[in-house]
Amino acid sequence: MRNVTSDNITDTFLNYFGEDTDPRLKTIMESLAKHLHAFARETNLTHEEWQKGLDVVRQAGKITTPERDEFVLLSDVLGLSSLVDMINSPDKGTSSSVLGPFHISNPPKMEMGADLKGDNEGELVLVTGRVLDTDGKPIAGATLDIWQTAANGLYSSQDPEQDTYSFHALFTTAEDGRYAFTTVKPVVYTVPTDGPVGELLKATGRHPWRPSHLHYIIKAEGFRSLVTEVFPDDDPYLDQDTVFGVRDDLVMHYLPQPAESFPDQGFVLSRKVDQAYLRVDFDLTLTKSVSTA
Amino acid sequence: MRNVTSDNITDTFLNYFGEDTDPRLKTIMESLAKHLHAFARETNLTHEEWQKGLDVVRQAGKITTPERDEFVLLSDVLGLSSLVDMINSPDKGTSSSVLGPFHISNPPKMEMGADLKGDNEGELVLVTGRVLDTDGKPIAGATLDIWQTAANGLYSSQDPEQDTYSFHALFTTAEDGRYAFTTVKPVVYTVPTDGPVGELLKATGRHPWRPSHLHYIIKAEGFRSLVTEVFPDDDPYLDQDTVFGVRDDLVMHYLPQPAESFPDQGFVLSRKVDQAYLRVDFDLTLTKSVSTA
């Protein structure tokens, strides 16, 4: 197109694709260009505003490392990450939620009933539940990869005072599909605010807080992997999670328990418990993977 | 919103703005989120595709420097840069076109009629024209900042063989609004293809070529600054500029001239011309700036 105008530039773009373009890539790039162009037209975007947008991504590029990904954070606070989660969630089963940047590879394998708290500060919590299929039957041999903040609101990778694998664990279910471990109650924390995303939150009057949560990745053969989070029902940020991660079925009650009630629950805990504690029960329902469904 | 779903996440995002948010920033972020979310919904974007998109911007971030801005290039090949140009172009006056990454600060001031070719290879061209207002009256004291490729298709900043200011010049018009200089005919070139944008072009079956052009920035007191380009009408890439920069009124004919016809045109040229050459006439019409209109 020789005489490109603001009216025909989108069609001009769409006509540039080569015939051998992968159809799915073409679909994605067409939709991206249509929406990007519509955004610029709708807002009558100025050169200065375009430059400011470029500054955001340039700054994000400068500070992004494998450990600190400002582009993922940008996607998170714009709701894109959660939307992709939801689009790809099966209708049945436990809702998925954002992975976030704090998962680490090769978490330490632990025996069911293990203790993550050790001498660390924080409220003692017993976390129990089952991994189930959509018929409510237990799934044996499911792995639960679990991670959370310490009581200071920091993940181990953010905190030089913590061991690398502090509050990270990998469990495998037995025939009954049950899991159980003791830990500390996770606490609220902020997403990193020292980059352009922090500036954007500030400029739009948004806080950087996330409600407290336990992270899970559950995998089992023949089932779709599930990345999710569990939130306490008394958290002040449930209705305003800055990364849009809360789903109704992921909000659970942490029930206060007297010391003597513990631990006669049909599983062996490694921690000797002689104090009051909280207990949260959270069953995780997996859907069958597409190839075996 | 506690129970965020793919249906309500956009509204949830829109409700997060603080009351003191700058209204223009709010407008832009609202439109951006609406279109970003609609893009993800429309395409049913998968986690893998989301990760591929993140890879593109991460790679762009890694290679972006003040001299090589892959984010601007991404904006260019997606048509966003040209669209912003067109949205912000006044209805009257010469069309604007993309600035591109090769403009340099403080180009050398030259006398009207100067020669940029020197001993450099390439077809000799006489470029002439006038800077006019929308009534067709000459504008005195307008500056023309001009830059172009050498005959090898490289700008001086890309080419260690060229001087820093090679094929860069700044002219100022006199009372008649006229400008004139001799140079070489610019040639076609490709945008940089060694980054993620190059991979994207390849994957979508697009070539990386731009039609040849002379770049201009024209400034005059009381008028809107104009960034534009002039394209020869015989260029093979006029209808498929990879950055969407061509406008009908920017396509000009380079007229072959015999040596003896030169230079009796009412201006003094510094180059003694004793060979056949090309001549292009290009009048630049500026619109009044908003504050004085």
Please tell me the distance from the alpha carbon of residue B243 to that of residue B114, in angstroms, as a whole number.
Answer: 31
Please tell me the distance from the alpha carbon of residue A8 to that of residue B86, in angstroms, as a whole number.
Answer: 11
Listed by number, the residues of chain B in 53-92 with a beta carbon closer than 8 Å to a beta carbon of chain A are 54, 57-58, 60-62, 64, 69, 71-72, 75, 78-88
Q: Quick one: B241 exposed, middle or buried, by C-beta within 10 A (0-12, 13-18, 19+)?
A: buried
> What ipTM was reported for this prediction?
0.90
* pLDDT (tens digit per residue) in A191-224: 999 999 999 999 999 999 999 999 999 999 999 9
Which residues in chain A are contacts of B9 at CB distance < 8 A? 79, 82-83, 86, 244
CB contact under 8 A, B20 and A205: yes
Q: Quick one: A249 exposed, middle or buried, by C-beta within 10 A (0-12, 13-18, 19+)?
A: middle
According to DSSP, residue A244 is labeled -
> With 50 as the cut, is the pLDDT of residue B258 above it?
yes
Residue-level pLDDT at A1: 62
* pLDDT (tens digit per residue) in A44-103: 999 999 999 999 999 999 999 987 899 999 999 999 999 999 999 888 899 999 988 889
CB contact under 8 A, B6 and A69: no
Task: Determine the average pLDDT of the residues in A238-246.
Answer: 95
Give the pLDDT band (50/70/90) at residue B262: low
Residue-level pLDDT at A57: 98
CB contact under 8 A, B205 and A19: yes
Residue-level pLDDT at B97: 92
Residue-level pLDDT at A101: 82
Residue-level pLDDT at B188: 95
A290 at interface of B, judged by CB pairs closer than 8 A? no
* pLDDT (tens digit per residue) in B38-56: 999 999 999 999 999 999 9
Q: What percent of chain A has pLDDT over 70?
A: 97
Give the pLDDT band (50/70/90) at residue B292: very low
With H, G, I as helix, E, B as strand and everything else as coil, classify residue A172: strand
Please tell me the distance from the alpha carbon of residue A225 to that of residue A287, in angstroms, as a whole number.
Answer: 8
What is the CATH code for A92-191+203-286?
A: 2.60.130.10
Q: Is the pTM above the cut of 0.80? A: yes
Residue-level pLDDT at A17: 96
Residue-level pLDDT at A34: 98
Pick the closest to residue B69 from A179, A101, A53 (CA basis). A53
B272 at interface of A, judged by CB pairs closer than 8 A? no
Average pLDDT for chain B:
93
Pick the closest to residue B243 from B10, B44, B78, B66 (CA basis). B78
Listed by number, the residues of chain B in 166-225 with a beta carbon closer than 8 Å to a beta carbon of chain A are 200, 203-206
A9 at interface of B, judged by CB pairs closer than 8 A? yes
* pLDDT (tens digit per residue) in A89-106: 888 899 999 988 889 899
Q: How far is CA A40 from the centre of its chain?
A: 31
Give the pLDDT band (50/70/90) at residue A264: low
Q: Both tokens of residue A130?
A: 């089952």
Q: Which fold has domain B80-286?
A: Protocatechuate 3,4-Dioxygenase, subunit A (2.60.130)
CB contact under 8 A, B84 and A241: no
> With 70 as the cut, is the pLDDT of residue A145 above it?
yes
B247 at interface of A, judged by CB pairs closer than 8 A? yes
**In sequence order, what are the residues at sequence separation of 6 or more whose Cβ sits closer than 8 angstroms to the Cβ of residue B117?**
B124, B182, B183, B184, B271
**A31: nearest CA partner in chain B:** B39
Residue-level pLDDT at B264: 58
Please tell me the distance from the alpha carbon of residue B171 to that of residue A131, in angstroms, as a whole number.
Answer: 75
Residue-level pLDDT at B247: 94
B3 at interface of A, judged by CB pairs closer than 8 A? yes
> With 80 as the cut, is the pLDDT of residue A134 above it?
yes
> With 50 as the cut, is the pLDDT of residue A292 above it?
no
B44-53, B265-274, B284-293: range with highest mean pLDDT: B44-53
Q: Which residue would you say has higher pLDDT here, B253 or A271?
A: B253
Pick the closest to residue A244 from A80, A70, A79, A84 (CA basis). A79
Residue-level pLDDT at B293: 41
A-B interface: how many C-beta pairs under 8 angstroms?
Answer: 223
* pLDDT (tens digit per residue) in B187-219: 999 999 999 999 999 999 999 999 999 999 999
CB contact under 8 A, B16 and A206: yes
Please tell me the distance from the alpha carbon of residue A105 to that of residue B152, in angstroms, as a whole number.
Answer: 50
Q: How far is B161 from chain A (nearest CA, A)?
A: 30
Residue-level pLDDT at A262: 63
Domain segments of chain B as ranges: 1-45, 80-286
**In sequence order, what are the residues at sequence separation of 6 or more whose Cβ sits closer than 8 angstroms to the Cβ of residue B16?**
A204, A206, A240, A242
CB contact under 8 A, B71 and A60: no
Of B9, B43, B244, the CB nearest to A244: B9
Q: How far is A260 from chain B (nearest CA, A)?
A: 35
Which string of DSSP letters, residue by residue, matches B33-76? HHHHHHHHHHHT--HHHHHHHHHHHHHHHHH--SS--HHHHHHH
